Amino acid sequence: MSLRLAVLASGQGSNLAALLAACADGRIDGEVVGVFSDKPDCGAVARARAAGIPTWAMKSNSVATREAFDAAMFDAVTAVQPDLIVCAGYLRIIGPAAIERFPHCMINLHPSLLPRHPGLHTHQRVLEAGDAEHGASVHVVVPELDAGPLLARARVPVLADDSAEALAARVRQREHPLLVATVAAIASGELRLGLDAIHWQGKVLTAPLQLGADDRLGLPAQPTQENP
């Protein structure tokens, strides 16, 4: 059965565009059934409307509390009956009550090699830390910030003359294929998100999958639990 995707976004919608293209050409056996945003004028909302996808967008300051905003948005998410919620450039922290409505059904794309550098300004922080590698991660959303179980990562080298902007651009080139490959694996059943464990090809996943040069996911050569 085709996977029903709800996408949360706050920016220009390049990750949404990648998901839409992959659904259209069959790389993802799924359909984006709704796009939800805290930025009514953002590019992601415009892309969704142009594609005829139902949207819900409201400024966060339209309601008194974060909890009230989350409740309104996730009521709208519930209405489209998603199988998977994808946070693709969604910049608001989601409160615990909203996350508990969709246990292990929500994933996030984050621009670092988690567990290193959760939160904001990751590219500058990588340079300041002197890291040799940077990248992006897809993880299950839990109430703690960027702390959910890791599903997959894509790595890029940090070059000696990198600026934060140059590094961000290099990471962005791998973010789209990473997100598409992860969602495609969930849609196919190859990657299964369980409450007690995550399974890859029928076995418990003990280390994040890695995105290869061919844009396919696979187990790292030597699965470990150590930080990147």
Fill in the DSSP letter of residue 144.
S
pTM for the complete prediction? 0.94
> Within 10 Å of residue 108's Cβ, how many Cβ atoms?
24
In whole angstroms, give the CA distance from residue 69 to residue 75: 10
Alpha-helical (H) ranges within 80-121 are 96-101
Q: Where are the chain's structural domains?
A: 3-218
Quote the percentage of the chain above a pLDDT of 70. 97
Check if 110 is active-site: yes
Q: pLDDT, tens digit, for every residue of 13-44? A: 999 999 999 999 999 999 999 999 999 999 99
What CATH number labels 3-218? 3.40.50.170
Place of tokens 């409201």: 58
Are 156 and 121 in contact by the 8 Å Cβ rule? The answer is no
Task: Give CA–CA dist 129/115, Å, rounded.
Answer: 14
| pLDDT tens digit sequence for 68-86 | 999 999 999 999 999 999 9
Selected catalytic residue, list 110, 117, 123, 134: 110
Is residue 217 within 8 A of residue 57, CB to CB? The reply is no
Q: Which two tokens stand for residue 141?
A: 């959303």
Mean pLDDT of the chain: 95
Residue-level pLDDT at 222: 64
Cβ(220)–Cβ(207) below 8 Å:
yes
